[in-house]
Structures are given as C-alpha cells and as structure tokens.
Amino acid sequence: YQASTAQAVQKMAMEQGLLLLTCGAKGNVIRFLYPLTIPDTQFSQALTILSTVIDHCVAPAGHPVVPA
C-alpha cells in the first residue's frame, strides 16, 4: 500500500480513539503497539476499530482486504 493509505488509516483510527504509528522506508507500514497487560475487551475493541478503518480506507482503492 501507499503512504497516503497508511496515513488515512492512522488519521481515521485516531478520530475513533485508536493511536497507530506509520513507519517504514516509504511510510506505508502501520504499527499497532499495545501493552501486554491490555484487557481482552479493550484489545477486541481496538481490533474492531482497526478492521473497520482498514475496510473503509483500503477497499475503495480496489485492494482486497483479507482477514488475518
């Protein structure tokens, strides 16, 4: 993916309360860092936000979104 896609994901996630980092030589990598002590409910909520944001930002660009 392009850096602009990673930045869009980061921005939309932040608007929903999820902090992500972009990195990589081209800025096209999304980093999701969380504490090892995160409660399961918060982790699940974060993954839901991340999944929703990726679906919104990536699918319109014509890239398939494959669940992990």
Counted residue by residue, the chain has a size of: 68
pLDDT score at 68 = 45
| pLDDT digit string, tens, across residues 6-61 | 999 999 999 999 999 999 999 999 999 999 999 999 999 999 999 999 988 887 65
If one compares 38 and 68, the residue with the highest pLDDT of the two is 38
State the Cα–Cα distance between residues 6 and 22, nearest whole angstrom: 7
State the Cα–Cα distance between residues 12 and 18, nearest whole angstrom: 9
pLDDT score at 58 = 80
State the Cα–Cα distance between residues 25 and 31, nearest whole angstrom: 13
State the Cα–Cα distance between residues 1 and 54, nearest whole angstrom: 11
This model's pTM is above 0.85: no
